[in-house]
Amino acid sequence: MTNDQITEILARPLSQEMLARDLCRLAYVAKDGTPRNIPIAFAWNGREAVMCTSKNAPKLASLRQNPAVAITIDTEVHPPKILLVRGTVELDEVDGIPEEYLEMNGSYKMTAEQRVEWEAEVRSLYDGMVRIVMTPTWAKLIDFETTLPSAVEELIQQRAERQQQSGNSVRSDEPGTSTNATDSTGSR
């Protein structure tokens, strides 16, 4: 997939709506080779998905070993809206609390007083964090109206081909389809 194709998909209004959400599922391969899929807060900066974690998080060793990841952002309604993004991550250890962490956790309903208390607690807990910065290498938006999962698209295409073949085949029980039928000129 080209960068222009990725940019086009991620620029669609529904994609932008999905990228404005605060929670995704991050899939990666653990050091032992088994898959992991975890919910994690994220912020989209227009080019990358940024997630933050503690400096001692077990996933960091896995991501250093294999930076290939995927995220899923979806809705809980029917039909679901799903944004699938694959990419690679870079790990950026920072002192203090990254602005993205405060931003991605800012959508939770808190009073101003609760927000001050929460932020003070966060700052007292973490002396630094690791920014997990994912650069997209592939994207697909599925809305079940204009786009579908590729396997469903394939089934629809196969069905259309079957219907076309059965519609194009000459059936002797239909008027004018007998092998003895004549064309409009009277010829056989």
Q: Pick the closest to residue 134 from 100, 103, 88 (CA basis).
A: 88
pLDDT per residue as tens digits for the range 126-168? 999 999 999 999 999 999 888 888 888 899 899 999 999 987 6
Residue 73 has pLDDT above 50, yes or no: yes
Residue 184 lies in a domain: no
Mean pLDDT of 38-58: 95
31 domain-assigned: yes
What count of Cα atoms within 13 Å lies in the side-chain half-sphere of residue 85?
Answer: 31
pLDDT for 108: 65
Domain presence at residue 179: no
Residue 177 resides in a domain: no
Helices (H), 45-132: 59-65, 99-104, 112-125
Cα dist. 80→41, 46, 155 in Å?
20, 23, 19
- 74 vs 25: CA distance, rounded Å: 9
Whether residue 183 lies inside any domain: the answer is no
Residue 187 in domain: no
Question: Does residue 71 fall inside a structural domain?
Answer: yes
Q: How many domains does the chain have?
A: 1
Reference 89, options 72, 70, 102; nearest CA is 70
Nearest-angstrom CA–CA distance, 98 and 85: 23
CATH number for the domain that contains residue 48: 2.30.110.10
pLDDT at residue 29 greater than cutoff 50: yes
Looking at the domain assignment, is residue 182 inside a domain? no
Q: Give per-residue pLDDT as tens, 80-126.
A: 999 999 999 999 999 999 988 988 776 567 888 988 898 899 999 99
* Domain limits for position 148: 3-168
